[in-house]
Amino acid sequence: MSKRGSFIVVEGLDRSGKSTQTALLLARFEAAGIPAKLLKFPARTTPIGQMIDSYLKSHSDLDDRAIHLLFSANRWELASTIEHLLGAGTAVICDRYAFSGIAFSASKGLPYEWCRAPDVSLPAPDLALFLDITPEAAKARGGYGEERYEKEEMQRRVGEIFRRIGQEISDGGGEGEGGKWVGIDAGGEKDVVAREVWAFVEPLARGIEGPLRRLWPDKLTI
């Protein structure tokens, strides 16, 4: 039986190096001759993504719950694309995913479980890599930008919630919670971080025998 592609998610605070590391990871796949596709969330070019983009740039205002649901809908509108790619044997690398959805919205004070709910049943990554960096170190990398969440205090809360998510996934052994969560020290040189990222990804890179799982199936009650 042919293997499906592996599904890799890279998460982290703003300016933790996600864009750099996902691009380097894609290049690694390409160099190894393994088909791979890089997706980024929020995907700002879809109609929903354009609403998110406008909100992040403070060109529009939305209720906290409404924007949360739009971020989730933005992932759902690409869920079948992710499934098809994986089914065709292409690895999918995502720059942010549902974990950002919980971390950013819960850090605004919305209940954690409420934030998780709309993302339950999305395709689950086989590996989530959390690029761990302090908000101070992230800020020192040329400062935060102009977008809505790019403030040190917000990033601190976001980091705490990411750690809670990672702890839950690790406590659950990864099973039923959506793959494996790995924290990576993202404060070092980009090539050092990239080597560490690849060390975790390489064993999965050539594909996976088992079926694609769903995020948090234990949270689904009929």
Residues 116 and 31: beta-carbon distance below 8 Å: no
**Residue in 42, 123, 135, 159 binding ligand DGP, rule: CB under 6 A:** 42
CA distance 168 to 146: 32
- Report which secondary-structure segment, H or E, holds 152: helix 152-171
Cα radius of gyration (the chain): 17
Nearer to ligand DGP among residue 102 and residue 205 (C-beta)? 102
Among 16, 21, 22, 105, binds ligand DGP (CB under 6 A): 105
Residues belonging to the chain = 222
Give the CA distances from residue 32 to residues 27, 61, 91, in Å, rounded to whole numbers and listed in that order.
9, 44, 12
Alpha helices by DSSP H, listed for 32-151, are 47-56, 64-87, 98-106, 112-116, 135-140
By CB under 6 A, residue 112 contacts ligand DGP: no
Kindly tell me which residue out of 24, 77, 137, 149 binds ligand DGP, with binding defined by CB under 6 A: 149
Over the window 65 to 84, marking each residue x when it contacts ligand DGP by CB under 6 A and - when it does not, the resulting string is ---x--x-------------
Instruction: Closer to ligand DGP by CB, 78 or 205: give it.
Output: 78
Please report how close the Cβ of residue 149 comes to ligand DGP at its closest, in angstroms: 4
Contact segment (CB under 6 A) with ligand DGP among 4-12, 101-109, 174-182, 204-212 equals 101-109
Among 17, 28, 51, 96, binds ligand DGP (CB under 6 A): 96
Rule CB under 6 A: is residue 99 a binding residue for ligand DGP? no
Strand partners, 123: 214
56 binds ligand DGP (CB under 6 A): yes
**Interaction residues for ligand DGP, span 161-220 (CB under 6 A):** none
Is residue 21 near ligand DGP by the rule CB under 6 A?
no
Phi–psi pair at 39, nearest 5 degrees: -115, 155
List strand residue ranges (DSSP E) for the chain, in order: 7-12, 36-40, 91-95, 127-132, 180-185
Binding site for ligand DGP (CB under 6 A): 14, 41-42, 56, 68, 71, 96, 100-101, 104-105, 147, 149
